[in-house]
Amino acid sequence: MKRCHACGAPWVSEKKQPGVKEFCEQCGAYLHCCLNCRFYDPSKHNACAIPNTDWVGDKTAACFCDEFEFADRDAPVRPEAKRDEARSAFDRLFGDD
């Protein structure tokens, strides 16, 4: 599912890609940005899997990249859920005492 990089809210639209200045209804973050692109890879040159793209300084800002494709992502895991899971694993291992 296509989701906002900032808050994880699903992007529901009949369009294939968000517009350049389109933003998340829930948190206001830009949707057409590097962090939402399926080619975003911080380990690559220009943080992009496509080698000839231009450098974008702010990865959260709206970008005009023609190569942009909205990434499909799973729902983000809440930090509280990770904490609770770790606590229950610890309790199972060492007991509730």
What is 63-89 written as a DSSP string? Answer: ---TT--BPB-PPPPPHHHHHHHHHHH
Structural domain count, the chain: 1
Domain ranges, residue 76: 1-97
pTM of the model: 0.73
Distance of alpha carbon 36 from alpha carbon 3, whole angstroms: 8
In DSSP terms, 10 is beta-bridged to: 3
What is the tens place of the pLDDT at every residue in 30-69? 999 999 999 999 999 889 999 888 889 999 999 999 999 9
Q: Is the model more confident about 45 or about 84?
A: 45
